[in-house]
């Protein structure tokens, strides 16, 4: 969102391609933009993320090939001059300036880590630039994911990296809110883990004395509970969301990198719960503990 906003501020026309809940969110935020419904690769996690993805490699590679071919048509049809993609491996094109955004230059894995690094690097270097949404120095948010201490990774890191600082749609404002919630829970991530986390927090919150708020993380579905003590909503607008975070004694959420950046910008701490089997989130949870 902040990168789209920057492009608009510079007077550029922005065509946004997305699908599902992110598309709903982006349409509401940027009604002045044009949109393409473009389905990304659908990855399902069950157990360990790495092993789950290994079984889905043919589907992932086919999706990358299809989006690479589809981009050629979009570039020609809409006279695109620059493509900025969020971790989409097939959206590079020789005719335009292409940018790949990732905080995961080095993929944490219990097996074949160097092979995954080489594959990731091969794709990243197809792009003109790789933007890392983090600080460049030692005081950073992503740790070994984009600042490896290992000599092999450091020497072989892609040459097109550019650290652009943490990116968030939020800005720190007045944080002097009355603490009306004992806890606020933020649910996110792929199924079935999203629903499992939602049910876990819902059950835990019902045992808390005092008010709680559970945010379901589904902007494409409207829902809110009538329970005044243990409130549940699927989505909040930006100002309501920020107010709820500043109004709670404790925040409980996934250790996803976007969430970490948002909390960092807002100057808030949280209790992180990694999605089971997602090695990246498990690493970030330990890093920020």
Q: Is residue 215 part of a domain?
A: yes
User: How far apart (Å, rounded) are the C-alpha atoms in residues 213 and 249?
Assistant: 11
DSSP tag of 182: S
Looking up tokens 């409980």 gives 252
Position 95 pLDDT exceeds 70: yes
Residue 227 has what pLDDT? 77
Q: Mean pLDDT check: name the lowest of 42-46, 72-76, 209-213, 253-257.
A: 42-46
Q: Is residue 268 part of a domain?
A: yes
- Where do the H-state alpha helices sit in the chain? 2-9, 20-29, 49-55, 57-78, 113-124, 151-155, 193-205, 238-246, 257-266, 279-288
Q: Does 45 share its domain with 135? A: yes
Q: Does 159 share its domain with 235? A: no
Q: Does 188 share its domain with 141? A: no
Kindly indicate the confidence band of residue 189, based on its pLDDT and cuts at 50, 70 and 90: confident
Q: Does 218 share its domain with 260? A: yes
Residue 159 has what pLDDT? 93
Residue 63 has what pLDDT? 87
Q: Which residue has the higher pLDDT, 171 or 48?
A: 171
And the tokens for 275? 């999605």
Residue 49 has what pLDDT? 57
Position 223 pLDDT exceeds 80: no
Q: Is residue 7 part of a domain?
A: no
Q: Does 51 share its domain with 159? A: yes
Q: Is residue 170 part of a domain?
A: no
Residue 208 has what pLDDT? 95
8 A C-beta contact, residue 129 and residue 160: yes
Q: Is residue 77 part of a domain?
A: yes
Number of domains in the chain: 2
Q: Is residue 279 part of a domain?
A: yes
Residue span of the structural domain in which 98 resides: 40-163
Residue 131 has what pLDDT? 98
Contacts of 81 (CB under 8 A, 6+ apart): 96, 97
> Which of 67, 73, 97 has the alpha carbon at shortest distance from 83?
97
Which residue, of 133, 163, 193, is where some domain finishes? 163
Residue 48 has what pLDDT? 54
Mean pLDDT of 238-247: 94
| Cis peptide bond prior to 212, omega within 30° of 0 | no
Residue 281 has what pLDDT? 95
Three-class secondary structure assignment of 29-79: HCCCCEEEECCCCCCCCCCCHHHHHHHCHHHHHHHHHHHHHHHHHHHHHHC
Q: Is residue 12 part of a domain?
A: no
DSSP string of 75-104, one letter each residue: HHHHT--EEEEES-TT---TTSEEEEE-S-
User: How far apart (Å, rounded) are the C-alpha atoms in residues 281 and 259?
Assistant: 11
């Amino acid at each position: 969102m902040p990168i789209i906003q920057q492009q608009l501020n510079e007077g550029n026309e922005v065509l946004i391609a997305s699908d599902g809940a992110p598309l709903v969110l982006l349409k509401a935020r940027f009604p002045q933009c044009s949109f393409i419904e473009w389905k990304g690769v659908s990855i399902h996690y069950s157990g360990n993320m790495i092993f789950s993805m290994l079984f889905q490699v043919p589907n992932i590679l086919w999706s990358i090939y299809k989006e690479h071919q589809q981009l050629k048509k979009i570039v020609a049809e809409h006279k695109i001059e620059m493509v900025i993609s969020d971790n989409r491996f097939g959206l590079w094109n020789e005719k335009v300036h292409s940018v790949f955004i990732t905080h995961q230059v080095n993929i944490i894995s219990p097996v074949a880590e160097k092979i995954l690094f080489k594959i990731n690097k091969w794709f990243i270097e197809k792009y003109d630039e790789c933007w890392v949404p983090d600080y460049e120095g030692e005081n950073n948010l992503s740790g070994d994911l984009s600042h490896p201490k290992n000599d092999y990774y450091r020497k072989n890191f892609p040459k097109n990296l550019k650290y652009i600082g943490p990116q968030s749609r939020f800005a720190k404002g007045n944080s002097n809110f009355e603490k009306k919630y004992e806890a606020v829970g933020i649910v996110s991530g792929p199924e079935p883990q999203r629903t499992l986390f939602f049910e876990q927090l819902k059950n835990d919150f019902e045992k808390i004395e005092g008010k709680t708020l559970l945010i379901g993380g589904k902007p494409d579905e409207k829902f809110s509970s009538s329970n005044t003590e243990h409130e549940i909503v699927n989505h909040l607008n930006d100002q309501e969301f920020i107010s709820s975070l500043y109004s709670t004694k404790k925040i409980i959420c996934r250790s996803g990198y976007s969430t970490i950046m948002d909390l960092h910008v807002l100057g808030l701490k949280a209790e992180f719960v990694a999605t089971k089997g997602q090695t990246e989130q498990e690493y970030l949870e330990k890093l920020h503990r």
